[in-house]
Amino acid sequence: MKTRLFYSVIILLILGILISQLKVILSWENMQTGLIVSVFIGALVIGLLYLFQLWFKKNKGQKTGLTQQVSSTIIISIVFPLALLFAMPDFYKPELVDELTLANKTIYVYHEYCFPPDSACECDTYGSYIYTKNHYLPVMHLVLKTNFYVGSVQLNNGELIVKASDICSKDLGKTKRIKQ
């Protein structure tokens, strides 16, 4: 007994997950968060409407199975959107350290620090991400992930040259190059 309301909840949940997976530029992050919250609240409201529709629908002598239907509907339409709403925001996300414009390209440098933040260089997971902005949309595309903190970024003849910063002494002199 699935109706359009049930399918609307599923579509809104999928839409919310897809929106949350986009990497947007810094000035659009608040708008993205607001849109995600709006979509999940919409899914919650529609889920509640679907639940009320099940509760108030007149049963034509079929009392068995209604409890199971209502409990599964509660899980799908209320608990699942709320869990996703709280699970989607990145609790530990890379930090923007630099925004550059080189040859009419906007480049964003993010550092991913160690967790817990005892020392910036103690763990194996630290490094930097380099993103470029899409020409038309406020969406970023990953260009390069490094295993060191990026100190300087240059663009020479269509080649992106990334040099390590002096945050970690063991990374001094490291360089990565990538054709654009």
- Judged against a pLDDT cut of 80, whether residue 12 lies above it is answered with yes
pLDDT at residue 15, rounded to an integer: 85
pLDDT at residue 1, rounded to an integer: 46
Give buried/exposed letters for 113-137 (b at 16+ CB in 10 A, else e): beeeeeeeeeeeebbbbbbbbeeee
Q: Burial level of 62, CB count in 10 A (0-12/13-18/19+)? A: exposed
Q: Is 99 in the same domain as 83?
A: no
Q: Is 109 in the same domain as 136?
A: yes
If one counts every other C-beta atom within 10 angstroms of the C-beta of residue 109, the result is: 24
Domain assignment of residue 127, given as a range: 95-179
Q: Is 172 in the same domain as 133?
A: yes
Q: Is 80 in the same domain as 100?
A: no
Structure-token match 């300087």, residue found: 152
Q: Is 48 in the same domain as 119?
A: no
pTM of the model: 0.68
